[in-house]
Each structure stands twice: as C-alpha cells, then as structure tokens.
C-alpha cells in the first residue's frame, strides 16, 4: 500500500519519463539536450533524471 506522497511522486516520475521519451523519439534528437530540457523544466538534477530513466525510486 502506497502513501499519498508515494503515489504523487510516482505520477510525477511517470510524467517526467513520458516527456523525456517523447523528446527522444524525435528524429535527430540529442539525448544530452533532451535531458537538459527536462532537468530545467522539472527542476531536477542529472542524477535524478538518470534514476528515473533506470526505474530506481529516487
């Protein structure tokens, strides 16, 4: 059973991952630039983004 905070965090991580995958799917997209856009938009660090991409709870 998840707490309200855990559910909210999981939804946010899913949103971040979906947005990242959407940017990467564009032909010619650079992963570094896409990551930078996501980090700026959501106010997260590179390590947090990497953990979200790996599926590790951050």
pLDDT tens profile 1-45: 999 999 999 999 999 999 999 999 999 999 999 999 999 999 999
* Under 8 Å between Cβ of 58 and 39: no
Q: Would 24 be classed as within a structural domain?
A: yes
Q: Would 49 be classed as within a structural domain?
A: yes
Q: Which domain holds residue 46?
A: 11-53
Count of the separate structural domains present in the chain: 1
Q: Would 58 be classed as within a structural domain?
A: no
| pTM of the complete model | 0.89
Q: What angle do CA 28, 33, 21 make, to 5 degrees?
A: 70
Q: Would 34 be classed as within a structural domain?
A: yes
Q: How far apart are the C-alpha atoms of 51 and 27, rounded to whole Å? A: 24
Q: How far is CA 28 from CA 25, 33, 38, 42, 55, in A?
A: 9, 11, 17, 23, 25
Q: Would 25 be classed as within a structural domain?
A: yes
């Amino acid at each position: 059973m998840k707490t309200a905070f855990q559910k909210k965090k999981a939804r946010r991580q899913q949103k971040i991952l979906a947005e990242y995958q959407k940017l990467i799917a564009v032909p010619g997209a650079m992963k570094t630039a896409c990551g930078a856009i996501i980090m700026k938009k959501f106010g997260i660090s590179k390590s947090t983004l990497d953990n979200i991409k790996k599926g590790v709870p951050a």
